[in-house]
Amino acid sequence: MSGRFEHFVHGADIGIRGIGPTLEEAFAQTARALTAVMVDPEQVAPREPVTIAVSAPDEETLLVDWLNALLFETATRHMLFSRFAVRIAGNRLEATAWGEPIDPLRHQPAVEVKGATMTELAVRRQPDGTWLAQCVVDV
Amino acid sequence: MRVPAIIYGTEDLVRAMDDKVLEQIRNVACLPGIVKAAYALPDAHWGYGFPIGGVAAFDAEAGGVVSAGGVGFDISCGVRTITTGLERAEVEPVVEKLADALYAAVPVGLGRTGQIRLSDAELDAMLEGGARWAVAMGWGDPADLERIEEKGRMAGADPGAVSKKAKERQRAEMGTLGSGNHYLEIQVVDRILDPKAAAVYGLVKDQVVITIHCGSRGLGHQIGTEFLREMALAAPRFGIVLPDRELACAPLRSELGQRYLGAMRAAINCALANREIIDHLARGVLRRLFPRAKMALLFDVSHNTCKLERHRIDGEEKELFVHRKGATRAFGPGHPDVPEPLRSVGQPVLIGGSMGTGSWVLAGAATSEDKSFASAVHGAGRAMSRHEATRQYRGDQIVAELRERGVIVRAPSMRGVAEEAPAAYKDVDAVVLAAERAGLARRVAYLRPIVCIKG
């Protein structure tokens, strides 16, 4: 992957940000940033694929829906994800997330994320041509 | 603004508040149908739409709204405290064993599920029945019910308004603590400031209590997520102009508003059932280790809710939908909704602290009705970001330092412990003192932790 992710400060919670050469890559990096709130993504083996599809009226809502779909899979499959392939066409996102079941001893999850929020929510193309996708997650 | 925005706090607390608190409480004061004032309490900090530590009441007849952001993601997150009748001296010698046994009995942290798996019919029964359902299933003491808000069951819950996804997230999560600032603690009644109220509450100096802080788990998070989205997208249809998308709300008299209330009340029942079950698991451990323990629920109170209540506005009694986001109901002495045995001194207001700083029991003040729709603070609030806390502290060092100070910590993740470092939180003592001086609640007792189970 050619993008990068980072966290930013928000009072009680934490902001996640993905940056990449395409909108899709920025979304994939934001998903890695989400995993990094909970665990070290390098410790999560991308062994099992899970497919995800969401639709939203705008790109920003699509980002929140994508992250919340991942959180739903984490909560119900008890899995963590570290590799993402994202395709976006119009208002629809289809993705594959690869990960593995949570092993509390090995992964040492720091905190559970309750939900992706609309706080500091932004999806935009930056002056240097890269894409940025970000929001605050509630922990 | 339709009404004033009022902030309670000492000069130090107000100066330390994020500018976003001021912006958010002003935004809340602009919402349709808001009554009297929007309040920020001494522990207020930047939240989602509403500040955390915010209170606002809406009149359905005046076009009032209900806001998913005004309740938050962890619907009905709250605190319960159980007295044990055990003396500090008999518990302290075995704290390590007690910590291990509690950590083994109560599932904590991401990815840990409980022993309970609910069928679709059982999920619906839980969402209707709350703690009453848990007790009927054998996971709780019937005597607890009168010591829980709404007597253990929130009326008006609509399991049909709860999505399949929200139910799926909860199927294996009953009786789990979660993570972040949620905890199960064994505490000692360290100081008593109001002997009369303490006696009524059953708090005796140097005796041991259990305190649990957690909420409606995945079900509440999913409901919050889904309705926040739906309300944000529907706002233009209702002609509501939102200065901040996260203020997402819907008229109380709309299908969406009513559906949210039904789902949110179901989530309140989920939180009440969850705390009842965790309490049951903890009492089982104490009973095994201390056969003479006589455990009784002091009180169970939520701090992320929207409730229909009667309040006096300009001499006239009105039914209002009171949002408390990171704020605790604090009915004063004599209020009919305070359980009869506690009524003479007012409703217990249970305030969680950080791992190292302890917790407070307050009593609702008579003046809280006029000051804040009978509401008080809920906790310390963070002073430092998670990132900064992990930069400054190491989990194993925090655990060792707390052990030196007489607090045994059990947690699945040392990074998680570092993120929850006591110094990452504001001074809870200053917050409760400010609440007392503002006339919201009176300090009754200070509880010092000796065992902390963290998610």
Question: What is the ipTM metric for this complex?
Answer: 0.93
User: Where residue B206 falls among pLDDT bands split at 50, 70, 90?
Assistant: very high
CA-nearest residue to A112 within chain B is: B110
A4-138 in CATH: which number? 3.55.10.10
B180 touches chain A (CB under 8 A): yes
Q: Please, what's the b/e burial string for A88-118 (b: 16 or more CB within 10 A of its CB; e: otherwise)? A: beeeebebebbbbebbbeebbbbbbbbbbbb
Decide the pairing of beta strands B316-325 and B304-313. Answer: antiparallel
For the annotated catalytic residues of B, the residue numbers are 378
Percent of chain B with pLDDT over 90: 89
User: Where residue B361 falls among pLDDT bands split at 50, 70, 90?
Assistant: very high
CB atoms within 10 A of CB A55: 12
Of B18, B74, B222, the CB nearest to A11: B18
Element (H, E) at A23: helix A23-38
Contact across the interface for B229 and A9, Cβ inside 8 Å: no
> C-alpha B211: how far from its chain's center?
12
CA-nearest residue to A40 within chain B is: B415
Rounded average pLDDT over B74-92: 97
- Structural contact between residues B447 and B211, judged by C-beta atoms closer than 8 angstroms: yes
Residue type, A91: N
* 245-264 in chain B: CB under 8 A from chain A: 245-246, 248
**SS3 (DSSP) at B175:** coil
pLDDT digit string, tens, across residues A58-93: 999 999 999 999 999 999 999 999 999 999 999 999
Please report where in the chains the tokens 């993120």 appear, as a residue.
B419
- Asked whether the predicted pLDDT for residue B357 surpasses 90, the reply is no
Percent of chain B with pLDDT over 70: 100
Of B48, B111, B233, the CB nearest to A109: B111
Residues of B within 8 A of A136 (CB-CB) are 48
Q: Alpha-carbon distance A53 to B187, whole Å? A: 47
pLDDT digit string, tens, across residues B386-433: 888 999 999 999 999 999 999 999 999 999 999 999 998 888 999 999
Q: Using CA atoms in the order B404, B406, B411, B417, what is the torsion angle rounded to 10 degrees?
A: -60
Q: What are phi and psi of A18, to 5 degrees?
A: -120, 140
In chain A, where the domains are located: 4-138
Contact across the interface for A112 and B245, Cβ inside 8 Å: no
How many residue contacts between A and B have a Cβ separation below 8 Å? 120
A30 Cβ neighbours under 8 A, 6+ residues apart: A5, A16, A17, A18, A63, A66, A67, A133, A134, A135
B39, burial (CB in 10 Å: exposed 0-12, middle 13-18, buried 19+): buried
Of A68, A103, A117, the CB nearest to B48: A117
User: Where residue B382 falls among pLDDT bands split at 50, 70, 90?
Assistant: confident
Q: In what order do the strands lie in the sheet with A48-55?
A: A48-55, A92-101, A79-89
B163 touches chain A (CB under 8 A): no
Of A7, A111, A117, the CB nearest to B416: A111
B107 touches chain A (CB under 8 A): no
Q: Alpha-carbon distance B435 to B46, whole Å? A: 19
Specify the pLDDT at position B48: 87
CB atoms within 10 A of CB B399: 20
A104 touches chain B (CB under 8 A): yes
Specify the pLDDT at position B114: 85
Question: Both tokens of residue B1?
Answer: 């603004």
**SS3 (DSSP) at B198:** helix
Specify the pLDDT at position B111: 80
Q: Alpha-carbon distance B16 to B134, whole Å? A: 42
B392 touches chain A (CB under 8 A): no
A119 touches chain B (CB under 8 A): yes
B315 Cβ neighbours under 8 A, 6+ residues apart: none
A14 touches chain B (CB under 8 A): yes
B46 touches chain A (CB under 8 A): yes
B5-383+425-454 in CATH: which number? 3.90.1860.10
Q: Alpha-carbon distance B455 to A101, whole Å? A: 18
Range name among A31-35, B15-19, B32-36 with the lowest pLDDT average:
B15-19
Q: Give A130 to chain B, closest Cα distance, Å.
A: 25
A11 touches chain B (CB under 8 A): yes
Rounded average pLDDT over A113-118: 94
Pick left, alpha or beta for residue B150 (phi over 0 → left; psi -120 to 50 → alpha; otherwise beta).
left
CA-nearest residue to B166 within chain A is: A72
Range name among B194-198, B201-205, B237-241 with the lowest pLDDT average:
B237-241
A78, burial (CB in 10 Å: exposed 0-12, middle 13-18, buried 19+): middle
A65 touches chain B (CB under 8 A): yes
Of B110, B228, B414, the CB nearest to A118: B228
Q: Give B7 to chain A, closest Cα distance, Å.
A: 18
- Which of B81, B341, B338 lies closest to B203, judged by CA? B81
Specify the pLDDT at position B426: 86
- Asked whether the predicted pLDDT for residue A1 surpasses 60, the reply is no
- Asked whether the predicted pLDDT for residue B383 surpasses 90, the reply is no
Q: Give B428 to chain A, closest Cα distance, Å.
A: 15
CB atoms within 10 A of CB B151: 17
Mean pLDDT of the residues in chain B: 95
CA-nearest residue to B229 within chain A is: A61
Residues of A within 8 A of B382 (CB-CB) are 11-12
Q: Give B368 to chain A, closest Cα distance, Å.
A: 27
